[in-house]
């Protein structure tokens, strides 16, 4: 028996995950991210294989993870989480810069950026876990971070198709 309520006792943040391929950039919303080693610092993210960002991480071997701010407007999440970069430019009008490893770093509605080289990965079915060595981590602003719990219960946000939780 699997009680989904028991699974939701694991806390998550809500993040923009970005990458690039040649001169193209893309990003998506994820909540499954965690640090997995301290020395060297390494971070793991679980990414749906159907996503364009997954293809870009495979191509460039790089990703950037940015925790979102708690005070965020829903259209901003919708832009990154409920559209596909295959037919929509998610970065049009968004303030961003190129990170130290080449992935785009979103500078609005984000609190920090963690940039990693995705040098180890594990196929877990619908998703792949990328476990990357962190090359850069810095704060963008001091605002409170959005949690998955707050997103679900206060903002009443929906879960994108293909997420790690239903």
> Which residues are near a second copy by CB under 8 A?
1-7, 9-13, 32-44, 46, 67, 111-114, 120-127, 129, 131, 134-139, 145, 147, 163-166
- Residues with Cβ within 8 Å of 150's Cβ and at least 6 positions away in sequence, in order, are 70
| Shortest distance (Å) from residue 71 CB to a second copy | 15
Nearer to a second copy, 77 or 128 (CB): 128
| Shortest distance (Å) from residue 138 CB to a second copy | 5
Residue count of the chain, please give it.
166
Token pair, residue 80, equals: 């990154």
| Shortest distance (Å) from residue 155 CB to a second copy | 16
Nearer to a second copy, 21 or 140 (CB): 140
Neighbour count for residue 2 (Cβ, 10 Å): 5
The answer to whether the bond into 40 is cis (omega within 30° of 0) is yes
């Amino acid at each position: 028996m699997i009680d989904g309520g028991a699974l939701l006792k694991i806390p998550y943040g809500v993040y923009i995950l970005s990458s690039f391929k040649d001169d193209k950039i893309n990003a998506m919303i994820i909540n499954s991210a965690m640090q997995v080693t301290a020395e060297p610092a390494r971070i793991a993210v679980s990414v749906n294989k159907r996503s364009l960002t997954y293809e870009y991480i495979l191509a460039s071997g790089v990703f950037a993870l940015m925790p979102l701010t708690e005070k965020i407007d829903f259209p901003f999440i919708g832009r990154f989480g409920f559209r596909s970069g295959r037919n929509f430019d998610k970065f049009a009008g968004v303030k961003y810069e190129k990170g130290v490893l080449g992935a785009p770093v979103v500078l609005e509605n984000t609190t920090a950026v963690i940039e990693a080289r995705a040098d180890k990965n594990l196929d877990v079915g619908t998703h792949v876990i990328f476990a990357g060595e962190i090359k850069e981590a810095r704060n963008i602003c001091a605002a409170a971070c959005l949690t998955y719990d707050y997103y679900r219960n206060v903002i009443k946000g929906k879960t994108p198709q293909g997420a790690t939780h239903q």
